[in-house]
Amino acid sequence: MNGRAAAAILRMAVPAVLLAAPGEWAATAAQVRTQERPALVPAPAPSARPQESFSDVASRAAAAREEGRIEEALALYRRALAARPDWDEGRWYLGAMLYELDRYAEAADGFSEVLRHQPSHAGALGMRGLCEFQLRRYDTALADLLKARAAGVAQSPGIATVVRYHAAILLTRFGEFESANQLLAEFAAEGTETPQVLEALGTNVLRMPVLPEDVQPEARERLMLAGRAGYAVAARRIGAARLALDELVARYPGSPNVHYVRGVFLLTDDPDGALDEFRRELEISPAHVPARLQIAFEFLKRGDAASARTPATEAVALAPDHFATRLALGQVMLENDELKHAVSELEKAATLAPGSPQVYFLLARAYGRLGRTPEAERARAEFTRLDQLSRAARHGQQSIGGIPDAGSRMEHPQ
């Protein structure tokens, strides 16, 4: 996928946004859609003007860029930058044009230079991340794309949309399905139901750790059906979601994660049906950790810690370094009054996910019941702090591919 194809993902003319100066990159999506990229036309090399000032060269560079004389514009921007290396606006334009020409490595270097002077420049972070994605440097791409979101790239809807999409598909590729689902749900909130969004949701809800473009052709129909179901869930179109999930299970009853997806959907209104779906999933995928966790958390919700013990113990055995497995087993031990074992599991969970409020909620309870008052007070304070942060950022209590948020319905620990 080249830069222009990536820009077309959500039918937005990204170049029109990218060619904004650092101080102008908050162009609206409506403005972006009305602009077309001018055709590239050959242009003679700029004539030598020994006495020409920096401002003259910069003005000529801007004129060449606006008129579509890209090669001439590139040469002029380089001349101007040679005279004034700290001219970030010019370096931004240079990087954006190189991106449009699919010269991603050079473009990434340009945006890196902008970031050297302005480390929190959200637009440059996002564009460098997109360049790295095209260069298949997926680890660094994801880091930059997430930093761009945190730095406020949402101020520029065109860039923000493409940054969000690429961050989501990379999170899915790396197995961070719940985090990816939260980003993809934003498209449903906006009413953006494109084939690309549906493909991304399909890989996500079916827990396929691949990029959409890497899905095999024979799996694409199943992918799109799952994507429509995931989109309907995110858009709170419950009837449409139910129909799509029923069709998915009817047509692909033996495919991995199909029963799991429907089980998560059923948890709220039909928990017994959800448990049946999770058990069917385990028949198809015996090593399925999320299905075991869903079963364990559902029994914990019912106050049946004894029934939760086996799936929670099996989940830890299969994924000992997974935060949610330690959380589930720790909560099982806590409810069974096995307090020392509970603390051990919950402390491991806190090490694996130090930003999780629910683990500190449970630790506060466990420490308190053991009489470890200072530690209980510290855990309560950390729970309060993290819970406030979590509530501010939360987009929903549960995603279709996720594990229930064990802290979402908790009262403050006493």
pLDDT digits (tens, 9 = 90+) for 396-408: 434 444 444 433 3
Q: Does residue 28 share a domain with residue 87?
A: yes
Single out the residue in 252, 284, 316 at which a domain terminates.
284
Question: Domain holding 109: CATH number?
Answer: 1.25.40.10
CA 236, 247, 11, 109 dihedral sign is: positive
CA angle 69, 70, 71 (to 5 degrees): 100
Q: Does residue 265 share a domain with residue 191?
A: yes
Does residue 344 fall inside a structural domain? no
- The Cβ of residue 385 has, within 10 Å, a number of other Cβ atoms equal to 12
Phi, psi of 57 (to 5 degrees): -65, -45
Q: Does residue 197 share a domain with residue 115?
A: no
User: Residue 344: helix, strand or coil by DSSP?
Assistant: helix
Does residue 369 fall inside a structural domain? no
- The Cβ of residue 65 has, within 10 Å, a number of other Cβ atoms equal to 21
Report the pLDDT value the prediction gives residue 50, as an integer from 0 to 100: 56
Count structural domains, the chain.
2
Q: Does residue 221 share a domain with residue 138?
A: no
Single out the residue in 244, 268, 284 at which a domain terminates.
284
CA-CA distance, 141 to 159, in Å (whole number)? 15
CA-CA distance, 178 to 401, in Å (whole number)? 6
CA distances 388 to 117, 182, 271, Å, are: 33, 18, 29
CA-CA distance, 379 to 381, in Å (whole number)? 5
Report the pLDDT value the prediction gives residue 389, as an integer from 0 to 100: 86
Phi, psi of 121 (to 5 degrees): -70, 105
CA-CA distance, 182 to 163, in Å (whole number)? 14
Does residue 317 fall inside a structural domain? no
Q: With the CA atoms of 114, 120, 122 and 124 taken in that order, what torsion angle do they form, in degrees rounded to the nearest 10?
A: 20
- Summarised one tens digit per residue, pLDDT across range 144-190 is 999 999 999 988 888 999 999 999 999 999 999 999 999 999 999 99
Report the pLDDT value the prediction gives residue 65, as an integer from 0 to 100: 93
Report the pLDDT value the prediction gives residue 177, as an integer from 0 to 100: 96
Report the pLDDT value the prediction gives residue 344, as an integer from 0 to 100: 97
CA distances 177 to 275, 311, 403, Å, are: 21, 21, 10
Does residue 69 fall inside a structural domain? yes
Residues with pLDDT less than 70, the chain: 1-51, 393-414
Report the pLDDT value the prediction gives residue 268, as an integer from 0 to 100: 92
Q: Does residue 128 share a domain with residue 202?
A: no
Report the pLDDT value the prediction gives residue 156, as an integer from 0 to 100: 84
Report the pLDDT value the prediction gives residue 24, as an integer from 0 to 100: 42
Domain that holds residue 76: 1-151
Q: Does residue 184 share a domain with residue 110?
A: no
Does residue 158 fall inside a structural domain? no
Residue of 287, 308, 310 lying closest to 297 (CA atoms): 308
Does residue 366 fall inside a structural domain? no
Report the pLDDT value the prediction gives residue 393, as an integer from 0 to 100: 63
Which single residue is written with the structure tokens 């950390």? 382
